[in-house]
Structures are given as C-alpha cells and as structure tokens.
Amino acid sequence: MQLRTNTGLNKGEAHHALKNALRIGRQGEIRDRSSESRHYRMPGLNLLAAIVVYWNTAHLGGAVLQRKHAGPTVGPELLPTSHP
C-alpha cells in the first residue's frame, strides 16, 4: 500500500513539475489579474501538459518497439519506471 501511495505521489509531483516547466515564460506564476483570464489559462495549461504526456508516451512506446527489433531488449523491470 505504501509503494502504491509513493508511486501516486511521485506521479503527481512529476505532473506539477511539468506544469511549472511549461509556465517558465511567466516565471512559473499565473499573474493575470482578472479571474476570467486565469479561468482560461489553467485549462490551457492542463491541455498543454496532457499533450506533452501523450507525445512522450507515444514516442516512448515506439522507442521500446524499435529497441526490441534492433537487438538488446529493454528489461521488463525498467519499463514500469519510465511511464508517465
């Protein structure tokens, strides 16, 4: 149970770090004064983070398949640590 909790916590922290990296143009802060601007910016940031996660997942899967066909395979013990 503790392992599952730590895994979930690490995923949440990694997702938060990704969002902070995507907001670097505004020094990691949303400074819009109006609530309407913040209301539009946050879903946009969530969408951008989802696109990055999807792109990484799709390309990581392709890299694993390419590696399987090229020669030395990726050990199954390494794959669980590489997913988003």
pLDDT for position 15: 82
- 18: which residues sit within 8 A by CB, 6+ positions away? 49, 52, 53
pLDDT for position 31: 64
pLDDT for position 24: 64
pLDDT, block means (10 residues), the chain with 84 residues:
81 83 65 72 84 86 78 69 56
Residue pair 67/40 in contact (Cβ under 8 Å)? The answer is no
Nearest alpha carbon to residue 18 among 59, 61, 50, 57: 50
pLDDT for position 78: 67
pLDDT for position 57: 82
Domains of the chain, by residue range, sit at: 2-81
- 38: which residues sit within 8 A by CB, 6+ positions away? 30, 32
Residue with tokens 């990691």: 28
